[in-house]
Structure formats: C-alpha cells, structure tokens
Structure 1
Amino acid sequence: MAVVETERREHILIITLNRPEARNAVNGEVARGIEAAIDELENDRELWVGIIASSGKVFSAGADLKAVSAGKGNELWTDRGGFAGLVKRDRTKPLIAAANGAALAGGCEIVLACDMCVAAEEAVFGVPEVKRSLIPGAGGLFRLPRAVGPAVGMELMLTGDPIPAARAYELGLVNKVVPQAKLMDEALALAGRITANAPLAVQAAKKITERALTDTDDQLWAASAASMKELSKTEDYKEGPRAFIEKREPVWQAK
C-alpha cells in the first residue's frame, strides 16, 4: 500500500498521507510521494485545486525520527520541494490542508505551506522543536508568525506549546473547524467553491496574494497590472463576460 495516495474528483486532487501506524511522519518515501502528487496537480490542466489529508487520527507528527536516527534525514527533503517534498515548492495551484488531528513540528509546517486549512475539532497545531533543542527548519519560523501574528507566533515558537483547532481558527491559521465526520466534505466544499471560478484567474490571484505581506505596494501594483495583462490574452477572459451576458454558467478551459 502506498504511503501517499491520490484520488481525482473532477478538478480536485486529494493527496492522502497513509502512514497511520507512524502518525503519518515524513520519511523519504512520503517526501517523494508528496512531490510526485504535487507534480500531478501542477502538470495536469484539468486539475485546479489540491487537498492534503491523512489517514488515521493524526495529520502528521512531522519528521520520522527513526529515519533521522538511521542517518536518512536528508531523504526527508527533496531538491525542488524541500521538507516533505512540499514546503519550498513553487506552486501555482491552491492547496488545502484537511487536518484531521495533531499537526505538530513538520506536520504543522506542512499545513503552513498550504494556502488554506480546514480542521477537525480534535486537531491541534504546534511547533515543539525547542523542547528538543531544535528549531522549526521547514518554514515554521517565519510562516507561523505571518499566519497568527508576531506576538502569538513568538509565544508558540518559544514555548513549543500547541494550540487547539478553535484557537487556531481565532488566530487565522485555520479557515474552518468542523466535526471530524464532516472534515473531508468541508474541504471538498471549499475546493469546489474555488473550482467554480476561472482557474487561471485563481492562480494569478494566489500568486500575488501570497506576496501581500512581503512585497512593497509598488511591487504589488506592478504584479497586479502584469497579471491582468496576461489574463486578458486567455480564452477564459473572454468566456467570463460572455457567460454573464448570455445568463449561463461559464465553461472554463484553463487556457
């Protein structure tokens, strides 16, 4: 059985971590599997949104310490994606985390690398590395304070204490908290709301929005104008107004 499984549902690709016996910890096989799944999402014009989920009761405990202690720590990183084949990956398409349980250390950093997160009520999030004389080296040091604010980000980083899903929602780390039984339905519903829109416009909006906290206004104005210029050359740019005038749902082609 594959440690990373994929399932297509129309324009959505569900990527499932499948090492429940190891709390979905990331080893080399998982990292390569996630990278391959992201390749599939990025390279297929018919796939517009991805969801990362997990089997079992834990989203991910982060790095597989057995692999690390066996001298295989470098296998947890890929050249293009970094840790878990994901955290440094240059992606164009939206990715939603469906956190079914604890997302700790590298597992939390996987969530932070995604664009949105739907969480089960039982989920908790945290970066406990300092409790083991480590630091979150897969993006958590800067992505977490961006997500929850500098003061709370510093608290979580320096105490290593986790927060429950409800608190993560209050802080803006999570988009929605739902009962465990409704987790995938809610993640798919969110993905469906996105795939109802023009995919190239979604990708352009994602690219600029994720730079909102790091770039200057001048850079963002320029990027917005350039993206609008590129979108105006596409078939979907013509389809949107046409469908509105003809009082019908648009048929997007992602081109």
Structure 2
Amino acid sequence: MDNTNNLSEILSRNSHAFAPVLDADLNSDAVCTLDFTSGNAPLQETDLLDTNAFNTAVQQMLHEKQASIGVGGYLEDRFIYRRSSHFDVAAESRNLHLGVDVWLDAGTAVFTPLDATVHSFQDNNNFGDYGPTIILEHELEGVKFYTLYGHMSRTSLDGLEVGRRFAKGEKIAEVGPYPENGNWPPHLHFQVMCSMEGKYGDYPGVGTTTEKAKYEVQCPNPNLILQCRHLA
C-alpha cells in the first residue's frame, strides 16, 4: 500500500495512540523553541567546529529563555551544517532539516511511540553525522512507516538486532553525549519516513532546499507523533 500521500493523515487520525518518545514532558513551561537559522546572530559568531563551544551556545540559548529543553527544526533552513563536510555537495549544500530536534541532557531515555520492529541500526560516526542511529518500523491502519532516532549513546546499540520487537512505550535507547553522538550538543534527532528507499541504518536528516516538496511528503512532520504544543 502506497503511504506517501496519506501518512500525515493517518498519524493525525491516530494522535491518541502514541506513547511519549522521551522521558521528558515536552509540553511543560521548561521547553522552548530554538532557532538554528542564519538569523541567529550569536550562533553565527560561535565556532561550530568546537563542540564544546557549540554546546555552550545551546545552553546559553536555553538559559535566555529560562528553559531546560529546546525543540524545533522541522523543515528549518539551517546554516549550522557548514561545520561538517558531510553535508556539502558540489551542486548545492544540504541545509533543510527533515526531523525535529529535542535538545536535552545526555542519558535521557528514549521510547518507541508504537509497537515496533527494529529495521536497522548503525553508528554513523562521521563528524557532524547522526552517530549511533536506530530505525524502527511501525504499522498503522495497515500502512508501514519508519521512525529514526539519531545521536544516541553507543551503548544503545549493544545487543540490538534487526527484527527485534519493542512494545509501545518500551525504552529503546538513551540520548548520547558528545563526541560519540556524532559530535553534537546532546539531543535527539527524531524523524518519520514513509519508506526507507533501500537505505539501512541511515537516512538523510538534512536535504537541499530544492528537495523541500519531495521531503515534505516523504518525511511528515514528526510533531504529529511528539505532540509538543511549543511546535504547534
């Protein structure tokens, strides 16, 4: 069954069905949205190649909003990927973020929002990449789709097997610290995909601006699952 045209509708219809993805209340007053576009002047002045400096900048952004958790990023046009050659291509650099990021403490537990089967996993350990990554397969209304969890801890991959089943709400991983998480300030990159397009253990989390229309369909808004009021 082709789910590329109706997955967003299916997720919307089943909003009651999802367990929390994180051991954190994303609807509390301690949560704020964070801006990683070129309009963020202080971040522009940060040495993003220095993950310590990048992390300090994120903590400062949270402090200024009197928050401890930051959220955002879906289809955001970000300049921060210039820190890594992993996102540079000859024709057009990748800068369009395809998931939602939740910036919070390393070690925070991550759960599956639905019953799931492990599709694939691997440590994407390029500088600025996902680091340890887990991809789960789900089914709703007879339609299969996938969720991706990037920047996990390395121990999250220990003992994991393709085909392993997780029950809705079961812990699958923990948010990883840097540098093992791909050299990022600690956060979860959460993404939804209609199909894996033959990929294994990895799927682009950043696309080019010219691909926006394609990815809006292929990667529906993860907040349909997260249901964070700060992203509404």
TM score, norm. by length of structure 1: 0.27
Q: Which has the higher contact order (CA 8 A, sep 6+)?
A: 2
TM score, norm. by length of structure 2: 0.28
Query: Greater strand share, 1 or 2?
Result: 2
Larger Rg: 1
